[in-house]
Amino acid sequence: MSHPSDHFPDENVSPGTSPPPPPPAPGAYNNLPPQGGEPYPGPYPSGFYQPPFRPAQVPGRGLAVGGMVMGILALCFLCFSLLSMACGIVAVILCGLAKSKGCRTAAATAGLVCGLIAFGISAILYVLQWTPGLIGI
């Protein structure tokens, strides 16, 4: 059987405890405040206020989103030609206003394209529907 001093060669360490940690390297704790000293200063000097970050507002973005929604609705209502034409016209107007205000987002372009396509198709369907004999009916 081994003697307890074989496992703990340091006389200052009693069995069941670990040896003390080594002293820190010089300069390792330079950025800590002194014991009992003042706490760390805040991120800014007193009296300085930085407003919260807000991304830049794009003028006409709401018009672009509204135009895109109307363009998608115009495509969905193609079976109702007059409703689809109305939604398509509103989509083209809203997206045109958004682009004139400087909004060059994908929503403005998508609304403009959807509105134009829906208006064109619904106009063709309306003419075909109300012109007798054009399609053989």
Tell me the C-alpha distance between 92 and 112, whole Å.
5
Among 75, 106, 111, residue whose Cα is nearest residue 91: 111
Q: How far apart are CA 17 and CA 48, in angstroms?
A: 51
Average pLDDT (4-16) is 57
Angle at the Cα of 73 (from 67 to 76), degrees rounded to 5?
Answer: 150
Over residues 16-22, the mean pLDDT reads 76
pTM for the full predicted model: 0.57
Q: Which range among 37-51, 62-76, 105-119 shows the weakest confidence by mean pLDDT? A: 37-51
Whole-number pLDDT of residue 21: 77
Q: With bands split at pLDDT 50, 70 and 90, how would you rate the model's confidence at 98?
A: very high
Cα dihedral 23→27→29→35 (10° resolution): 90
Provide the pLDDT confidence category of residue 4 given band limits of 50, 70 and 90.
Answer: low
Nearest to 93 by CA among 59, 125, 127, 60: 60
pLDDT tens, 40-68? 555 555 566 667 777 778 889 999 999 99
- Give dist(CA 100, CA 29) in Å, integer: 60
